[in-house]
Amino acid sequence: MFSDRKQAGQQLAAALQSHTGQPVTVFALPRGGLPVALEVAKSLGAPLELALVRKIGLPFYPEVAMGAVMDGDPPTVIRNEEMISHQQISERDFQACLKRELAEIQRRRGVYLGDRHGRDVRGRTVVIVDDGLATGATMRAAIKGLRARQPDKIVVAVPVCALDVLPVMRLKADDVVCLEAPSDFQAVGMYYRHFPQLTDQDVLDVLKQAEKIDPAR
């Protein structure tokens, strides 16, 4: 149990100390991953970037993922074909849900980043951070999208992850750092005493703090 995202990030940072002094770029999955990733970036003295990803939820139950998408040109899309088939989701409905999430990514890019472009990560270790993984859909999209940018290595770092998701993460990433992996996982928020929903302003506040780590941001 973590007191909040900041404390979880501090514990995660301690588990990532082997990367200190290496060329590392930390990527956060917004919004919830930002406060966690900030502590990791501060500890490693690494720049903090955003991996703009969105879950693609079922049309009638958006909390359940049938895929995920990461910002890019073109965007990186992953699909849960088993879920799509089982729920009888038509391609038209999938594309409509995808379009909605891409619009939200575009909105967030404008609010969070303006006209700033992402850093070159070729030859660097990329550490992708979230506050927890339930299905791993958005993290898989982030891994795939960032892999295309040719980093030297991709590390997934999370405070908590569903036990059955860990093997998938280990298959997709070069390394996985996870502090807790309960077999009876239900929801990320259950492993935090204080787990508020974050706002766009919260994201901007964290990015402002990150500038102190990395003045060339």
What is the dotted CATH code of the domain comprising 5-51+121-211? 3.40.50.2020
Tell me which residue has tokens 């290595």: 153
Cβ-based neighbours of 61, under 8 Å, separated by 6 or more: none
Chain-wide mean pLDDT for the chain? 95
Q: What's the pLDDT at 214?
A: 56
Where residue 88 falls (left for φ over 0; alpha for ψ -120 to 50; beta otherwise) is left
Other Cβ atoms less than 10 A from the Cβ of 112: the count is 18
pTM: 0.95
Domain residue ranges of the chain, discontinuous segments joined by +:
5-51+121-211, 54-112
Give the tens place of pLDDT for each residue, 9-38: 999 999 999 998 899 999 999 999 999 999
